[in-house]
Amino acid sequence: MADEFTEVNPSGMKQVWLFVFCMATTAGMAQNVGIGTASPQKKLHVVSADSIAVQIEGANLSSSTAAVGISIRPTNNVSFQWMALRGREDAFVVNSARLYLNRKYDNDTRTVMFVDEYGRVGIGGTEADLDYEVAAKLNILQKGLAASGLFLEAPYIRDGIIIKGLTSNLYPNPAAQKISALRFQFNQFENSRLTLENLGSTVNPLLSFEMFNPTTFNHEKVMTLDRTGVIMNKTLGVNETLTVAGNTSLYQNLSVYGTINTGVVRPFVDVDMPTNFISEIFCACPSGYKAIGGGGGHRDYNTAAADIKINYSGPDPNDSGKWKVIATNTNTTQLRAVRVYAICARIE
């Protein structure tokens, strides 16, 4: 057969047709084909001293319809996966239901990143690690690695993270919808979230802090910030405390709608003083409180008050939780009732 081709094609094509004939024969007889190796390990095994072992050229990439690619698929699915360059030189297309980037190091194979069929991107885990109750586009998973979840660098005057909320016609009043910008949870338990509201306009946007109520299964506002100040959305109960650590400065008026409980109490004691008698009288604060003020005198408002003389009224030098009064009943025939009170406050 080679001689026939030589006669028909005497202008140097003998070697080409002989090579094609040999390759076809080799492919039909051998299981593996090797290029650059005498012991191929796969169906096609290419060994090259060059950094690029295989080069595939297609149509001119200046054409918008040009494409050159490789199709990788099982025999029972002709559209399972393909990779191609098309249109422009930097247009790289990968078509697959799922994409995985695996890294093998020291015999440990780990999925570094994946994209599932819904377009969700996972970093640091697999699809089995996704929280299917949270439909998130980007999922940064720990998978046993102690590392921070997200680190961003942003140049000056640029934002690190931009969250754009979109209204939905699925809800009755799209203009009043709020954006849940940040939500926090510990393991599978809801915790708190930060929400943004525009109330149908951008004139006075609201920034609210919400806490999850496990009884109602809803996030409830506890504090809201607007352009004019702070709005407290929650009334503190008897056993609930608003604590401010450090000094607090107010540069505008403070308006209070209700009662301010500053943690100050005023206990008192009543003592019947004998005639012509001088006595030290103490009024103790509750446990944990300190005396920051106080006073004393005749208990009743009448002419007998003139009989009581106050020699000393001040903090007890030996106990900061007591107020001390030294009083004298100058009446020589009648008892007199004396009241001593203390102003007590929690001071950390």
Candidates 221, 225, 232, 308; CA nearest to 271 is 308
Q: Per-domain residue ranges for the chain? A: 1-55, 99-140, 174-232, 264-345
How many other C-beta atoms lie within 10 A of the C-beta of residue 118?
10
pLDDT at 12 exceeding the cut of 50: no
pLDDT at residue 29, as a whole number: 52
Least confident of 35-39, 123-127, 169-173: 169-173
Per-residue confidence at 19, pLDDT binned at 50, 70, 90?
very low
State residue 4's pLDDT score.
37
φ/ψ of 189, rounded to 5, equals -95, 130
The pLDDT of residue 200 is above 60: no
What local confidence, expressed as pLDDT, does residue 321 receive? 94
The pLDDT of residue 6 is: 35
Q: pLDDT digit string (tens) for 217-229?
A: 888 888 887 777 6
Higher pLDDT, 66 or 126: 126
Tell me the residue ranges of DSSP E strands in 50-188. Answer: 67-71, 81-86, 92-96, 99-105, 108-115, 121-123, 138-140, 178-186
How far apart CA 337 and CA 274 sit, in angstroms, is 9
Among the ranges given (63-72, 118-127, 264-273), the one the predictor scored with the smallest mean pLDDT: 63-72
DSSP letter assigned to residue 183: E
